[in-house]
Amino acid sequence: MRLLKSHYDKIVLLLSVLAVIVSVLVGLLSGEEDERGGWSGSDSAFYFDTDNAGNVTLELGKENGLMPGQSVTFVSKEDESISKTIPIKGIVLERRGTYALTYDGSKKITGTLMINDDLTLDRDWKKTRVELAIQSDEGRALVSLAQLDSIHGSRVLLFDPTIDEFDPDEWFLSLYQALPLPPSDGNETKADRARWTKPSDEMEDSIYDLFTPPVIYLVDGNLTTTLPEKEVVVTEKTEEFGLSLDAIDNKPYRFKMSGWIGKVPIFDDTDPLVSQPPRRQNKRNRMEIGIPYRENLTGKPGTSSLIRTTEEDQSKLLQVTYFTIQQVRDKKSGGVRSVGRAMVKDFRMGGKTFEINSMMDEVFAGEIEIKMTYRLEGGNKPTTLSGKDTGKVLEFNGRRYTIKEINLDDKWVLVEKLGPGPTDKTTLRLSLP
């Protein structure tokens, strides 16, 4: 009994701390709803502004994992029964900011977000065909928004222009998403149940008369009275990739039919060689049936751009295998017109056979044209690839770009960049929207 009396103050203090911890755990693990993430604190700093598009922006003093579609709640400091919840329209991720990404359910990566400008995500961010390049200690990784589960770090929140702006001196901010709440008699508000409240003046025997309850935080599943300090990450400035994908289109075939003489079709060359500038070769070529033709590389100005050759010539270009003239009714005028139709074999396309007729303004034989632009160091140099240029190497200003893969169905090109240093290697998938 004497021992109990001598340690009475310590025993009461220990029981008080245990009571506070049990109250927090009950609030976190029971209730009607699930916690969805986010950081909250009545003393958190926040700042309202307006961006160039007229959206109301909110900057927070703490890092968080809030995404478009979630919400923030402002609670009156004077009367905590008054609160206003506002849905988040979008977020802005900082260029070269440090973020922790969770994707594909359980995979995690922390590093620098390698983007040239701040990235804005709206409520449909999961459907956006964008890949995030993350530079971590293990190297660079690409994570598409479709794979992304969460992203934690600093951000600017976007709201509709019609929302009210709240004074930090009069309101505190809660970022909890549907906090689990204990059963209520129906008269309490969420703010009453979600926050520490002052002990009632009528409860003279309250244990809170003995000490001031500490502020307790839940960090990574552990209870603590102090928040961890933000890690300062020093990142080395990385050069942007410098090559962009502009278009993937069907390429018009070089030759088209302009007419015929007797049973011999006339093909126009849309790109005849320049022999002696500014004079060009004759673009019109008589194409005799069954005769292979090759480019006239040594012809004088005015000569045809194609000349006859033999089947054994490895440089042969094309051959007309069949030609006929048909009478076709014109859909607009209702009259009948003559149309020349030829079957053409292109040897540089592997002997592919296709039709060219005199009604075609442009001929498409299945060739693909990929347009790209080099944009590093103020440059703006366009270049063109074909759909078969996997493995091709492009060099600009000491940078070496290798085409690793071309996907024509999904319209993307995988490119490996080497430079500016001899060991600086980056691989990036360039996609069209």
pLDDT (0 to 100) of residue 185: 56
* Residue 245 C-alpha from the chain's centroid: 14
State residue 61's pLDDT score.
Answer: 76
pLDDT of 428: 92
Give the pLDDT of residue 274.
56
Q: How confident is the model at residue 43 (pLDDT cuts 50, 70, 90)?
A: very low
* Least-confidence region, from 3-12, 234-243, 250-259: 3-12
Tell me the pLDDT band of 311, cut-offs 50, 70 and 90. very high
pLDDT at 275 over 60: no
pLDDT at 201: 52
If you average pLDDT over every residue of the chain, what do you get? 81
- Tell me: pLDDT of 231 over 60: yes
Span of 37-51, 207-221, 234-248 with lowest mean pLDDT: 37-51
SS3 at position 348: helix
Q: Is the pLDDT of residue 97 over 90?
A: no
Q: Has residue 271 got a pLDDT over 70?
A: yes
Q: What pLDDT shows up at residue 41?
A: 39
pLDDT above 60 for 31:
no
Residues 6+ away with beta carbon under 8 Å from 94: 113, 118, 153, 154, 155
Bigger pLDDT: 17 or 106? 106
Q: Is the pLDDT of residue 248 over 80?
A: yes
Whole-model pTM: value is 0.41
Beta strand 56-60 with 155-159: parallel, antiparallel or unpaired?
A: antiparallel
Domain residue spans of the chain: 1-30+206-230, 33-205, 243-249+368-431, 255-362
What is the per-residue pLDDT for 125?
A: 84
Residue 342: the pLDDT is: 95
At 196, is the pLDDT very low, low, confident or very high (cuts 50, 70, 90)? Answer: low
Asked whether the beta carbons of 265 and 340 are under 8 A apart, the reply is yes
> Does the pLDDT at position 179 exceed 60?
no
SS3 329: strand
CB-facing half-sphere around the CA of 170: CA atoms within 13 A: 6
What does the pLDDT read at residue 421?
Answer: 85
d(CA 242, CA 378) in angstroms, rounded, equals 10
- Cα distances from 220 to residues 27, 126, 146, 217, in angstroms, run 17, 26, 25, 10
Residue 33 above 50 pLDDT? Answer: no
The order of strands in the sheet holding 412-418 is: 393-396, 399-407, 412-418, 425-431
Could you tell me the pLDDT band of residue 391, with boundaries at 50, 70 and 90?
A: very high
Q: What does the pLDDT read at residue 34?
A: 38
- Assess whether pLDDT exceeds 80 at residue 164: no
Write down the pLDDT at residue 343.
96
Peptide bond into 213 cis (omega under 30): no
pLDDT of residue 322: 96
Does pLDDT of 38 surpass 50?
no
Angstrom CA distances, 30 to 114, 180, 181, 184, 192, stand at 41, 6, 7, 12, 16
Residue that wins the pLDDT comparison between 194 and 176: 176
Q: What pLDDT, on a 0 to 100 scale, did the predictor assign at position 238?
A: 73
* CA pair distance 200, 329, nearest whole angstrom: 96
